Structure 1
Amino acid sequence: MVPMDHGITIGPVTGLANITQSTAAAADGGADAVIMHKGIVKECYARYPRDLGLIVHLSASTNLSVDPDHKIIITRPLEAMRLGADAVSVHVNVGSEKESEMLKDLGEVSRACEGLGLPLLAMMYPRGKNIHNQYDPDLIAHACRAGAEMGADIIKTNYTGEQDTFREVVKGCPVPIIIAGGMKTSSDKELLDKIKGAIDSGASGVAVGRNVFMHETPAIMVRRIRGVVHEGLTPEEAIKQYQ
């Protein structure tokens, strides 16, 4: 899936200034789904075929805030469903100053989704003043388990960087985990190696934003990611096959 919910947080950055074009590239590349906020859904999603899944993101904050780690709920599950959402997502920064408020919000959203039959993706990240390493396997495992305990159907989180430690994260979480693509990498192979490692250690998929929409050819990058995730290609094979 391709997250495109960055506009609220960091503004119209490269690759997202023309959100319609970015969505088209994700669809053309064969992305399973996109993640976006309600206003963008109204502007550009409706024109794409229904085989491009829609996940409406319910949380928001801006990096201009005194506390960017504090995510608040700006959209309700029923509102997202009326927009045609296949699922919704909520962001929780575990370990942040406002963790308790975000967990409360996640619980309320989980309850609403259960009543609507709407799948819930929880973005669970160890992040805050007391978190010195957001890739610490124990912290990631705790964050993932917390999301599952709260009723999420799928968890999005950081990759630990090592297959052995990520396998332990997966073992401790009773629902599927997908990894975040993270910051823009220096090469396609660097990202695909990370994805391959995650998939081989039990991840169910990936959510790659900046490494897709900031790419020179986003549709090709989506195809390469699909090659590794769905077709079992090595990074080298995916790069060679999809030019």
Structure 2
Amino acid sequence: MSVTARLNRMFAQDGKCFDVAIDHGFFNEFSFLSGIENMKHAIDTVIQANPDCVQLGVGQARQYQQIPGKAKPGLVLRTDAANIYGKELPRHLFSELVDQAIWHAVRLDAVAVCVNLLLLPGQPELHHQCVANISRLKTECEQYGMPLMVEPLVMLPNEVSGGYMVDGDIRKIMALVRQGVELGADIIKSDPCDEVSEYHRVIEVASGVPVLVRGGGRASDEEIMNRTYELMKQGASGIVYGRNVIQHPNPAGMTAALMSIVHKDAAAEQALAILKGEQENG
């Protein structure tokens, strides 16, 4: 069964996608709840901003799909819960799949599912678990025509970075992205590298699989707009931003500004002007 039908709902006619991730409550970290404490309000705000997709866990996806109307952004369903994001790593690390995740995805009318491919220093068992998770999901995804978004995530040692800090080494990112592609990813969700101008190498190693770039932690409006513009110029097929949208004082304005970069090739200055205009109108 082909994944094309759902991919066509995920990506716009220009082949680009902006997916707003509001699945952070899945990971049992208090700081991740900022901006999404009131999930109904967060979901309503994102829907009104009209990105291409919204990324949610199983529980909140149920609430999302109860909202009437056919013009909602597509649902990307998060399929695994991990405990690797705190400032101190617990004794036992895991990235656990939701039971019958693809059944839930079909039932909830998802356009894709998202799963981690984690690479933490000195944690080969966790990486092995992620590879096994992807392999298991891939078989079911093919059976039901469900696109598989793999999220390769290279992290720095906790004792160096203090928790949930990505490693921007392009060599590590390229190798992990390629592993995700080899495991059967239909979409890659990847971090930017330290030198954004080299990101075309990540696009190349993905071998034609569309690459959506993760937003990561909060950054200034100027940094986000400039980085996003450059990443799109490097060949990215879109972005998956969460905290830089939902923790922003004006999530709807931020979404509109980023959509202009993703879909209209707007420069960073133009996007910042859109954000400023949305803030003044708000």
TM range (shorter): over 0.9
Q: Please name the residue that 2:13 is paired with.
A: none
Q: Is contact 1:94-1:127 (8 Å) kept?
A: yes
Q: Please name the residue that 1:54 is paired with.
A: 75
Task: Please tell me whether residue 180 in structure 1 is matched to residue 214 in structure 2.
Answer: yes
CA apart distance, 1:86? 1.3
| TM-score scaled by length of structure 2 | 0.80
Q: Determine the C-alpha separation between the residues in 1 that align with 2:240 and 2:59.
A: 21
SS of residue paired to 1:47? coil
Aligned match for 1:117, one of 128, 140, 145 = 145
Q: Please name the residue that 1:199 is paired with.
A: 232
Q: Please name the residue that 2:25 is paired with.
A: 7
Q: Is contact 2:189-2:212 (8 Å) kept?
A: yes
SS of residue paired to 2:254? helix
CA apart distance, 1:170? 0.9
- Runs of 5+ consecutive residues of structure 1 not aligned to the other structure: none
Aligned match for 2:45, one of 25, 35, 40 = 25
CA apart distance, 1:2? 0.6
Q: Is contact 2:256-2:274 (8 Å) kept?
A: no
Q: Is contact 2:49-2:256 (8 Å) kept?
A: yes
Aligned match for 2:96, one of 72, 75, 79 = 72
Q: Deviations over 1:92-113 (max 9, x none)?
A: 1025431111101101101110
- Runs of 5+ consecutive residues of structure 2 not aligned to the other structure: 1-18, 161-165, 278-282
Q: CA RMSD in A?
A: 2.1
SS of residue paired to 1:90? strand
Q: Determine the C-alpha separation between the residues in 2 that align with 1:179 and 1:68.
A: 29
Q: Determine the C-alpha separation between the residues in 2 that align with 1:50 and 1:34.
A: 14
Q: Please name the residue that 2:269 is paired with.
A: 236
Q: Closer, same or farther in 2 for the Cα pair 1:231/1:38, shift >3 Å?
A: same
| TM-score scaled by length of structure 1 | 0.92
| One-letter identity of the residue aligned with 2:155 | R
The number of residues matched between the two structures is 242
Q: Closer, same or farther in 2 for the Cα pair 1:68/1:61, shift >3 Å?
A: farther
